[in-house]
Structure formats: C-alpha cells, structure tokens
Amino acid sequence: MLQINISEQDCWLSSDELCECSDISSALLLELVEHSIAIPLQGDVIEQWQFNVENLHQVKKATRIQRDLALDWSGIGLILQLLDERDQLEHEIHRLKQQLSRFKA
Amino acid sequence: MNFKDYYTVLGIDPQADVKAVKAAYKKLAVKYHPDVSKHDDAEAKFKEIGEAYAILSNAKKRAEYDEVRQHHLNRSQRHYAGHAGASGQDWGQQESDPQSDQEFADFFNSIFGARHSGFDPNQQHHGRQPQHAKGQDVEMEFPMFLEETLTDTLKPVSFTLQQRDARGHIVEHPKSLKVNIPAGVSNGERIRLKGQGESGQTKADNGDLYLKIRYAPHPLFDVDGRNLTIVVPVAPGKRY
C-alpha cells in the first residue's frame, strides 16, 4: 500500500503554484486577494506570497461559482464570507449540543 | 434508457424564450450549486440543471431536442391510448430516478454525444474543460480522535474514484493509501495529497485528494481553535 508523508511543501503554496493548481492567471490572483477571497499568510509582494491549502480550496470554489453562476468577484467574496459564517455557526451549534448532551447524561 | 424532460427540469413552459430559460437556470443553479447548497442531492441536481440549460439555451440543440421530445410525446400518447384504464400518469412524470446519473448521461449522449456537445454531464459541476484536462480533485472527510493529533499518526485512507471507461461508462476504482498525518492538525483543516485524485485525460496531471480533518466527539473536552475546554458543573453553596 502506498505510504504518503505530508511534507512542509504540501502545506504551503507560492503564488505561481496556487495559480497553476487552480488554473488562474496572476492578474486574477491579485483580484482575488483584493476581494479577500485568497489571503496570503506570508509575504509583502506577489512573488513572496505564501498561501495555505485552505486558500487553494477557496480559490477553486470561487472560480467554480464564477463559472457556473456568472457573478462578479465582490459578490463571490460575499458568498464565501457568508458560507464561512454559516459553517462556523453550525460548528458552534454542534459544540453546544455536545455540551448539553453531557449535562443530560 | 429513459427520456428526460429538460423543460420540467428547469420548471419552464416548452414555449419559453431564451431569457426565461436563463432566468430559470440561474434561480435553480444558485439553489443547487454544490459549493453553496446543503441539499443531499445537490451535485446530481446541479448536473441535471446544467445539462438542461446547455441544451435549451442553444437554438440548434434545442430544436434537435424538441424533435426527440415530440417523438417521445407522440409515442407515449399512443401507448396510453392502447392501455385505457391504466394510471393517469402523464409522460412528464415518467422520468427515471433522479439519482441515476448514468442513465441521464446515456440519454444526453445518445442525442448529442458527450464529445461534441461541449458538455460532459459527469464532469464535476458543469464547466467545460479541454480534452487534456487535469483529473478532478476529490475531497473526503477524515475522522480523527483528539489524542491521535498529538503525534504524527500513520492512518489508512480508503476511497473510491469514479472514472470513465472506453465506452464512456462510469467505473469505480477503489484506492487505499497510508498517510502520515502530521501532529497538530486542527479540526476542519484540509490536507492535500498531490496527484491522488481522479486521473487526468491523456498526459494531463491527476487531480488531488483533500482530506478534511474532522475530530470525533471527545467524552470530556471540546475543541475551540487551539484550546481545549471542559465544562465542570458545580452546585451553589457547596464547598469543593
């Protein structure tokens, strides 16, 4: 059975890698960063930017939504922000339900 | 092979103009887009909607489809006339199980051919891709116990990839890996396994596999970011 070790390289992506993996141009990456769809975790200029896997996931999600629903990037940024908030609230509800179940037990 | 009524799929009248087709598609696409929707069958439903839109928004394809539809309608009417007293189900409700992607794809391909339509109903979502497209990414939830995240942990991962054979049918390929999950992974974090997703076309790269870490509920602790919390019940006035 194939064994895979997760290296540091798998956790971080440069701007070029992010563009290649998500099939976007660097100009579009700049626009996505402008709308906070992708948020570089390190670096001051695009050549030094470092992204995590979550950013790659968000960029792919954003480009799919743009392709399928033909929305503008600010609208997509808002959608992603609301989806994120929904996930956090669901997580919070789950956590509170878990706490409550302990009290009942 | 079952007939699919694309007008019913989009909830529009067969006489609807392109504008109405587009409006209906947009409304349903927003509702069922797999990145947005929480519906159980969002992916299948979205494919169905995308497929209907790809045909009905194109005048030439729509004309071809309308001919097939008319032929089916005439045949159904003859069939019902010959079975007087049978249930009053109308032809539009004869559709197959909506879960059946393969049947849907067969129907679609039988009319337009997947390679020439510019639309592949089995592609993730419904975007258009070049022939040498990278394989699809795969994401799966990966449950872990809190204790397992304290050190590097070697965990088996089994999943099934869906691929098309030479005849265009979907074939399932089970795959197993062992992954060394690094210590300190957090709840909800994604781990990317490069090239472990679905195979790319011809010489294109494989897609990636994403493991979304999901902590199993702990009997005592809750995880809040990097912190652990525990609720200790105390009775008022009691000395501890």
The distance between the two most distant Cα atoms of chain A, rounded to a whole number of Å, is 56
Of A38-42, B172-176, B198-202, B227-231, minimum mean pLDDT range: B198-202
B217 contacts in chain A (CB < 8 Å): 98
Is the pLDDT reported for residue B52 higher than 90?
yes
Which residues of chain A have a Cβ shorter than 8 Å from any chain B Cβ?
A: 1-6, 10-11, 21, 23, 53-54, 56-57, 60-61, 64-65, 67-69, 79, 83, 87, 91, 95, 98-99, 102-103
Does B154 contact chain A (CB < 8 Å)? yes
- Sketch out chain B's domains with CATH numbers: 6-117 (1.10.287.110), 138-218 (2.60.260.20)
List of chain B residues whose C-beta atoms are within 8 Å of the C-beta of residue A4: 177-180, 193, 196
Contact criterion met (CB < 8 Å) for A91 and B188: yes
Contact between A30 and A19 under an 8 Å Cβ cutoff? The reply is no
Burial of residue B225, with CB atoms counted within 10 A of its CB: 0-12 exposed, 13-18 middle, 19 or more buried: exposed
Q: What number of C-beta contacts closer than 8 Å exist between A and B?
A: 76
Residue where the block lists tokens 């795969």? B138
What amino acid occupies position A22? S
Q: Report the C-alpha dihedral over residues B61, B66, B71, B73, rounded to 10 degrees.
A: 140
- Angle at the Cα of A94 (from A92 to A95), degrees rounded to 5? 65
Beta bridge partners of B184: none
- The token pair at B235 is 């009775």
Share of chain B above pLDDT 90, in %: 38
Are B35 and A4 an interchain contact pair (Cβ–Cβ within 8 Å)? no
Q: Which of A52, A48, A59 is nearest to A16 (CA)?
A: A48
* Optimal mutation site among A68, A95, A96, interface B, most CBs of chain B within 10 A: A68
A-facing residues of B in 203-222 (CB < 8 A) are: 208, 210, 217, 222
Closest partner residue to A65 (CB to CB) among B33, B178, B188 is B33
Sole residue written with tokens 């209907």: B52
Domains of chain A in sequence order: 9-104 (1.10.1660.10)
Report the pLDDT averaged over residues A41-49. Answer: 90
Which residue of B125, B137, B176 is in closest CB contact with A68? B125
| Predicted confidence (pLDDT) per residue in A8-19, tens digit | 666 889 999 999
Please give the mean pLDDT across all residues of chain A. 89
Shortest distance between the Cα of B144 and any Cα of chain A, in A, equals 16
pLDDT at position B8 over 90: yes
Please report how many Cα atoms fall inside a 13 Å half-sphere around the Cα of residue A44, on the Cβ side: 0
